[in-house]
Amino acid sequence: MNSKFKFKIIKKGKGSRARRGRITTPHGEVDTPVFMPVGTQATIKSLTPEDVKEAGVAMILSNAYHLFLRPGHKLIEQLGGLHRFMNWDRPILTDSGGFQVFSLGKLNKIEQGGVLFQSPINGEKHFFTPELSMEIQQALGADIIVCFDECPSCTATYDYVKRSSELTVRWANMCKEAKTNDNQALFGIVQGGIYPNLRKQSAMATVKIGFDGYAIGGVSVGEGTEMKYLAVDNTIPFLPEDCPRYLMGVGTPEELFEFILQGIDMFDCVMPTRNARNGMLFTSFGKLVIKNSRYKSDDRPIDVECHCYTCRNYSRAYLRHLFIAGEILAIRLNTIHNLYYYMDLINKIRMAIENDTIAEFQNKFYEQKLPNSC
């Protein structure tokens, strides 16, 4: 286990499994529950690091596989590591590249020792192994790195998921053996699809290896909402109480709330930034699609309850004009708002856990989203 990485539970929720905690890393402390915006290519699209900090972001995620392809992990290491390369002095978590096995399925061949990838950039072939994933993530210098895994489809058969989960455990052992950088924490990943006994087996086998934290993978891969909750519910009882629990690739504001109540500490998802680029904005009263004609002359901010830079300075009418005109500023201002919304929501949930008011805040959260005029 990593002595430079610490996780402390500050408060347990009243009437739920929710926890308020704190992660300590070489690049600072992170209060949990925490949401990490996705900076796949070492950037949160359209924003500067200063914008991201102003939105209240404590920690971001970048992707080992994509940075391996371009510009290359060795170059980033040569230039001082990922923090210096992207001018971000707060904690970073890197995804191992395992999800790309699933998302770029037409470009790979899975073997016992790793995955043969064909680069979507230039067609070049690469054999991605647990050892290579560790080499890349250690070169990048992220505060938290994760084991290489296979993420099976939600439609995969029981037998396939069983073999896949066993392969993920095998790769987890290989990752732990290959890791040499004591400044980084290593998280194991639990798979098992939608099958309760496979989730239990994967969790227990991964915990037996021993990691600084545990990620729950294979949850947001196309299955219905109910199946997501069951997969997490069938995993958490077998994870250590004193380690952070990270749910990968989730999710909507409602999902964040519900999974925090189930005991999740860490999240990442492209949803706030990707939706911002598509003109879909999150608000205290629900979703707002800024291109709708009803906002053509609307002088109100996106959300009167929001204090982000965008809401303090710009109207819905102006934001709609920018979006319809295809202006880059539309993406930037929308992204600032959506990120701020996510950070503000998770901060309020954290405070509610600490103040034993989580049930009251949950009721208010859903009541505000009842159909009404926006």
> pLDDT tens-digit profile of 177-197?
999 999 999 999 999 999 999
pLDDT for the residue numbered 35: 98
How far apart are alpha carbons 201 and 237 in whole angstroms?
A: 12
Task: Show the tokens assigned to 103.
Answer: 């998302």
Which residue among the candidates 95, 149, 303, 344 is catalytic per the annotation?
Answer: 95
Contact in structure between 253 and 227 (CB atoms under 8 Å): no
Which among 57, 128, 58, 137 is positioned nearest to 94, based on CA atoms?
137
Which residue among the candidates 149, 212, 265, 268 is catalytic per the annotation?
Answer: 268
Contact in structure between 79 and 110 (CB atoms under 8 Å): no
How far apart are alpha carbons 194 and 231 in whole angstroms?
A: 6
How much is the average pLDDT of 98-110? 69
Contact in structure between 265 and 216 (CB atoms under 8 Å): no
Higher-confidence residue: 46 or 97?
46
**Beta strand 266-269 pairing with 108-111:** unpaired
DSSP string, 289-333: ETTSGGGTT--S-S-TT--SHHHHH--HHHHHHHHHTT-HHHHHH
Residue keyed to tokens 């969790």: 203
Which among 163, 147, 55 is positioned nearest to 99, based on CA atoms?
147
How much is the average pLDDT of 335-347? 98
Q: Is the confidence at residue 88, as pLDDT, over 70?
A: yes
The Cα-based distances of 257 to 51, 228, 235 in angstroms read 25, 13, 18
Domain residue ranges of the chain, discontinuous segments joined by +: 10-275, 278-368
Describe the crossing of helices 253-262 and 328-354 by its angle, rounded to 10 degrees: 30
Phi, psi of 146 (to 5 degrees): -125, 155
Decide: helix, strand or coil at residue 86: helix
Decide: helix, strand or coil at residue 280: strand
Contact in structure between 5 and 23 (CB atoms under 8 Å): yes
Contact in structure between 358 and 12 (CB atoms under 8 Å): no
Which among 258, 251, 245 is positioned nearest to 219, based on CA atoms?
251
Decide: helix, strand or coil at residue 134: helix
pLDDT digits (tens, 9 = 90+) for 12-37: 998 899 999 999 999 999 999 999 99
Which residue type occupies 204?
M
Q: Is the confidence at residue 288, as pLDDT, over 80?
A: yes
pLDDT digits (tens, 9 = 90+) for 293-308: 999 999 999 999 999 9
pTM of the full structure: 0.96
Exposed / middle / buried, residue 166 (Cβ in 10 Å: 0-12, 13-18, 19+): middle
Peptide bond connecting 13 to the previous residue in cis, omega within 30 degrees of 0: no
Task: Show the tokens assigned to 372.
Answer: 């009404």
The Cβ of residue 63 has, within 10 Å, a number of other Cβ atoms equal to 21
Confirm or reject CATH 3.30.9.10 for domain 10-275, answering yes or no: no
How far apart are alpha carbons 117 and 366 in whole angstroms?
A: 43
Contact in structure between 196 and 208 (CB atoms under 8 Å): no
Q: Is the confidence at residue 106, as pLDDT, over 70?
A: no
pLDDT for the residue numbered 373: 47
Q: Is the confidence at residue 152, as pLDDT, over 70?
A: yes
How far apart are alpha carbons 342 and 320 in whole angstroms?
A: 21
Phi, psi of 113 (to 5 degrees): -90, -10
Active site residue 242: no
List CB contacts of 192: < 8 A, sequence separation 6 or more. Answer: 161, 165, 198, 199, 200, 201, 202, 203, 218, 231, 234, 235
Active site residue 268: yes
pLDDT for the residue numbered 116: 87
How much is the average pLDDT of 115-130? 86
pLDDT for the residue numbered 173: 98
